[in-house]
Every structure is written in C-alpha cells, then in structure tokens.
Amino acid sequence: MDEPTPQSPADPAVPSPLLDPAHWEDFEGFRETFLLNFTDPEHNAALRSLSRMLYHLILETAHLMPVPPEGWIRVHLRAAVADLRFLQGFLAFLGDERRNVTLPSDEDDLCRTVSRKAQALRRIADGIEAGLSSRDFPAE
C-alpha cells in the first residue's frame, strides 16, 4: 500500500458544499467551519462519513435517551441558539480581520458585511432566547 503524501500548499482545498436548508439533515455533524481545515479530499470525506455514521447511530438509539425536563423542542432550540452564537462569534472574528491585516477592497467589503450579519445573528439568537426564557425553565 502506498504511503499517503502530504498535500502541497498549491493543491486546491476541498470546497464547502452549498447547503439546501430543506436537506439540513444531510449535513448534520461537524460544522463546515471545522471541516474547511481538512483540505485533503480523503480526510475531508472521511470526517463527513464519520459524522453521517454518528448521526445515524444516534437516530437508532434516540429511544434510549432520557426525555429532557423542559421538553424536546426547548432543548433543540437551545442547541440551535448555541450554534447561532458560534456563527455570530465566527462572523465577528472574520469581520474584525480588516482591522488586523491589509485586505483587498472586495475582502474588506466582505468583512464589513459579515460584521453586520454577526449582529443580525445576535438579534435572532436573542429573540429565540427571550422566547425560551418566557417560561419558568432555567437558562442552563
């Protein structure tokens, strides 16, 4: 068996897929912001395969999971808010890049745009959290 060779910096990275929100379950697992770091196509594909396997295993054993005291909808919404907060921080980080390095004007414009979008995500997550805290369940 041939030994794998390191990927050359000149090799193209594996692109993130375009996601159709109607097929979100096809992409359950590792975040794209994590997978983009695995530029070797075989490694990227292996992690995607692993995440699909883990997701399907979880679905098979869902009946063994305890029912959350606050209910399934609230626990799923709290997880979604956590992902929104992650994206809020990630976009804010990218938006701040224009302050840290000199960028081409089109990338500088993208940084300004994602800074505004990070704030929009904050408002969305704040709204969901407000709805979740409207009952007597603790925030954590």
Domain ranges of the chain: 21-65, 69-140
Q: Is the pLDDT of residue 68 over 70?
A: yes
Minimal CA–CA distance to 29: which of 14, 15, 44?
Answer: 44
Q: What is the pLDDT of residues 71-98, one digit of tens each?
A: 999 999 999 999 999 999 999 999 998 8
**Does 69 have pLDDT greater than 80?**
yes
**pLDDT score recorded for residue 140:** 47
pLDDT of residue 59: 93
Amino acid 2: pLDDT: 55
Q: What is the mean pLDDT of residues 65-74?
A: 92
Report the 10 Å Cβ neighbour count for 8: 6
The whole-number pLDDT of residue 12 equals 76
